Every structure is written in structure tokens, then in C-alpha cells.
């Protein structure tokens, strides 16, 4: 077998490998969006293991940025790990990952990698390529009926994120006391949510007296647990830790979906227990539960140990490549 970096045209074999490995197709549009059209790197960051002309394994990271104590660092998000049937247990994953980390650190200045592994890949990440567990994230949800539904005059859809949105988000995260977080620039927000080819996200700003009071990003989907019902994932919520503002954001989003005749079973999100809004949302009826999600990181350069302490991290559903 021979290990090679991605070359233009390899995506055909990559998509075929995904189908073999997972038994379902990976959209070419999604692949292009996440890897080829990523706003932070000029070339897909992928390593492949080949058995002659057939890919036996694949590992990729996509570009992002994180802020650490006010300084922006090029970073990466792990995803699309796969091995062809019959090639499991040969050390392909760890070989590809370590090769890719070394290469992207040198070629792109990538400072580290973050990810949300499933149970199948978690062990290998920790034991074979030396990631560190940061925390286990829990689903934080509220029944739709408790979230409240009412029209909020100052709440409106965002058709394109602007610098003023990015500035508000940066300030909001800082005021909550977090020092490590994905840099939600306008370019990132537009790419992540409004340009995504396979998922429709609804992005809202809440304006009061010409000032932004809050920003949320949501998506509705068919409930996996309760067929015939809809749930809403709240990908992002930025606002001060004020009960009235949180209730307005939830109520306005509920009104938006109700007006589209979408009956919401429940609303889900992630929020750190270190976040001052956690207690407020508990009071409103949010509770912790399944699913549980691993959050792990690995630094490539000295001086970034802050990424290993969960108390430093601001995280949302939108930081994951799954949601």
C-alpha cells in the first residue's frame, strides 16, 4: 500500500470509498463545500492510503480558525475518517492521521485539531494518535410547548452575515468569560450556514432600538425518536445572560416555525455549564440528556495548552461537522 496526499480528481474514489465504508452516499456538493470551497485553506487537507489504484483508507480535516486569549490561530476540524472493508486493523487510520497532521502544520501553519468522535473512532484517537479528551457534551433540550411561541417585532431573518454580526458574537462570547472558541467571522458564518448545500439553516437577529440584542441559528428536522414530529436544533445562540432576551429568542424562533406550520416537539442545543445562561435555561425548562458526544483536541504547536481545559471553551452544535 502507498500513502499519498489528495490530488484533484481523487474525490471520485473518495465518494466511492464512503459508500463502501458506510453503506450510504456522500454528496459531491457537500464534499466540495466542506473541503474544496473551505474559506480557510486553498487545497483540501486529505491523506489517502492506496492499494494500487483503489483507496484503502482516507483521513481528512477541514480548515477553521480558533481564538485563544484573543489571538486567532489557523485550526482544523477532523472528519470523514474511513477504511475500506477488509482493511480494518492494519493501522491505516493512525498512519494517515499522523502524516496529515505533520503536513498541514508545515504547509498551512495549522495549530491543532478538534473533533467530536463517535464510539468507533474515539479509542483510536486517544490511544493511537494521542488526542486528549476535553469533555463529554450532553444534549440540552426543552419541549417545544415550554419554549413559548410569540411574535417578536425586532426579530428578523439574516440573509447574509456582516461584520457587525461577527463583532457582536465576538463580544458576546468574551463577556461570558470564554477564552477559546471558533472564530465566527462573517466569512465563516456565511460559509457554515448560508452557503451549506445540503442543509437549510434559519439565521435570526434580534434588534432593539437599532442595536443587536441577540443572534440565533436554527434548523428543523424530522425527529429520529418520534416519527411524524419535528425537532429544532439551535446551532448558535448569542446574547447576554438575561432571561427576557433568551425567552424572546426562543419565542421568536417558535413563532417563525409555527407560521410555517411546523409543530416543534422539542428544541435541542449544547451549552457549557460554565455559561451563565445555563442556569437561566434550566429555569425555563431545559434539561440535560442523550445523546452524549465526545469532544477531543490535539495541539500541534507549543503554547496552546488552553485547548485542553473545557472551562476555556465556548462550544455550540455548529462547531460539529455532524449537525
| CA dist 69 → 196, 268, 295, 319 (Å) | 29, 29, 20, 18
Q: What is the CATH code for 2-130?
A: 3.40.630.30
Residue 84 to residue 22: CA distance in whole angstroms: 9
The per-residue pLDDT for 97 is 96
Q: What is the mean pLDDT of residues 232-260?
A: 96
Q: Does residue 153 register a pLDDT over 90?
A: yes
The pLDDT of residue 300 is 96
233-255 average pLDDT score: 97
Question: From CA 103, how far away is CA 149, in angstroms rounded?
Answer: 50
pLDDT at 122: 93
What is residue 103's predicted lDDT score, i.e. its pLDDT? 96
Please state, rounded to an integer, the average pLDDT across all residues of the chain: 95
| Mean pLDDT for the stretch of residues 161-181 | 98
pLDDT of residue 79: 87
Residue 35 confidence class, pLDDT cut points 50, 70, 90: very high
* Residue 123 burial (CB count, 10 A): 10
What is the rounded CA–CA span in Å between residue 127 and residue 114? 16
* pLDDT for position 286: 98
- Residue 228 pLDDT > 90: no
Question: Is residue 236 exposed (0-12), middle (13-18) or buried (19+ Cβ within 10 Å)?
Answer: buried
Q: What is the pLDDT of residues 283-302, one digit of tens each?
A: 999 999 999 999 999 999 99
Give every CB contact of residue 110 below 8 A, 6+ residues apart in sequence.
45, 61, 63, 74, 75, 76, 101, 104, 300
Fold for domain 137-293?
Answer: Aminopeptidase (3.40.630)
Look at residue 323 in the predicted model and tell me its pLDDT.
86
Instruction: Write down the pLDDT at residue 316.
Output: 98
Is residue 297 a contact partner of residue 131, using CB atoms and an 8 Å limit? yes
Residue whose C-alpha is closest to residue 217's, from 243, 239, 240: 239
Alpha helices in the chain (DSSP H): 11-22, 28-31, 92-108, 119-127, 144-147, 163-175, 186-189, 243-259, 277-284
List every span in the chain annotated with CATH 3.40.630.30: 2-130, 137-293
Task: Answer yes or no: are the C-beta atoms of 113 and 298 closer than 8 Å.
Answer: yes
- 46-83 pLDDT per residue, tens: 999 999 999 999 999 999 999 999 999 999 999 889 99
22, with CB counted inside 10 A (0-12, 13-18, 19+), is exposed
What pLDDT does residue 145 have? 86
Chain center to CA of 195: 15
Q: Give the pLDDT band of residue 121 (cuts 50, 70, 90).
A: confident
Q: pLDDT value at position 4?
A: 95
Amino acid at each position: 500500500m502507498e500513502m499519498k496526499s489528495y490530488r484533484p480528481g481523487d474525490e471520485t474514489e473518495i465518494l466511492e470509498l464512503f459508500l463502501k465504508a458506510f453503506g450510504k452516499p456522500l454528496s459531491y456538493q457537500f464534499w466540495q463545500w466542506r473541503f474544496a470551497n473551505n474559506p480557510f485553506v486553498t487545497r483540501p487537507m486529505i491523506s489517502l492510503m492506496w492499494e494500487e489504484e483503489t483507496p484503502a483508507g482516507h483521513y481528512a480535516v477541514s480548515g477553521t480558525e480558533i481564538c485563544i486569549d484573543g489571538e486567532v490561530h489557523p485550526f482544523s476540524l477532523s472528519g470523514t475518517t474511513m477504511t475500506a472493508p477488509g482493511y480494518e486493523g492494519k493501522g491505516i487510520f493512525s498512519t494517515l492521521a499522523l502524516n496529515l497532521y505533520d503536513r498541514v502544520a508545515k504547509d498551512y501553519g495549522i495549530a491543532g485539531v478538534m473533533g467530536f468522535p463517535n464510539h468507533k473512532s474515539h479509542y483510536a484517537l486517544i490511544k493511537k494518535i494521542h488526542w486528549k479528551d476535553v469533555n463529554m457534551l450532553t444534549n440540552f433540550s426543552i419541549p417545544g410547548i415550554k419554549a413559548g411561541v410569540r411574535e417578536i417585532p425586532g426579530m428578523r431573518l439574516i440573509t447574509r452575515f456582516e461584520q457587525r454580526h461577527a463583532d457582536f458574537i465576538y463580544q458576546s462570547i468574551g463577556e461570558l468569560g470564554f477564552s477559546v472558541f471558533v472564530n465566527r467571522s462573517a466569512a465563516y458564518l456565511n460559509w457554515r450556514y448560508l452557503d451549506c448545500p445540503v442543509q437549510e439553516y434559519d439565521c435570526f437577529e434580534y434588534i432593539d432600538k437599532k442595536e443587536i440584542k441577540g443572534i440565533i441559528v436554527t434548523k428543523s428536522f424530522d425527529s429520529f425518536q418520534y416519527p411524524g414530529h419535528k425537532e429544532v436544533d439551535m446551532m448558535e445562540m448569542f446574547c447576554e445572560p438575561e432571561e427576557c432576551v433568551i425567552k424572546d429568542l426562543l419565542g421568536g424562533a417558535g413563532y417563525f416555525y409555527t407560521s410555517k406550520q411546523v409543530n416543534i416537539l422539542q428544541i435541542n442545543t449544547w451549552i457549557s455549564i460554565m455559561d451563565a445562561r445555563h442556569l437561566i435555561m434550566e429555569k425555563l425548562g431545559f434539561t440535560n440528556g442523550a445523546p452524549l458526544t465526545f469532544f477531543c483536541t490535539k495541539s500541534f504547536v507549543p503554547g496552546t495548552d488552553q485547548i485542553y481545559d473545557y472551562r476555556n471553551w465556548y462550544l455550540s452544535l455548529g462547531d460539529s461537522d455532524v449537525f
